[in-house]
Structure 1
């Protein structure tokens, strides 16, 4: 059974994004998480929604 929530380190590994990028997305509200005690938990569906909302790669600089 796949996990329904990810910790920050697990989200970094799963998304291949940096820890800083994850925290920035949480800070600006584009990625939502839940708190359980001291742990920050990101629902897998929320992480997928965030990644799907990123702009497409165009190859232009």
Structure 2
């Protein structure tokens, strides 16, 4: 029996890239640089869904802190 909340807690790197609308290579680069957090599960690398939200929120904050273009 499946749990009522079947929303995944973690995504594959490919799924995370798709959620952000970016390529797999860029997603791996964001993980390698530490900009997006990932966790090991056994021999697999997974991206917690909330880490994608945190990354996008940081991008939004950075964007609002930039001086307006003249």
Q: Normalising by structure 1, what TM-score? A: 0.78
2:18 and 2:35 mapped to 1: Cα distance?
Answer: 19
Q: Which runs of 5+ in 1 are unaligned?
A: none
SS of 2:37's equivalent?
coil
If you compute each CA radius of gyration, which structure gives the higher value, 1 or 2?
2
In the TM superposition, structure 1's runs of 4+ consecutive aligned residues that sit over 4 Å from their partners are none
Match of 2:19 in 1: 14
Higher helix share: 2
SS of 2:35's equivalent?
coil
Cα RMSD, aligned residues only: 2.0
Q: Which runs of 5+ in 2 are unaligned?
A: 64-68
SS of 2:45's equivalent?
strand
How many positions carry a matched residue from both structures?
59
Q: Normalising by structure 2, what TM-score? A: 0.69
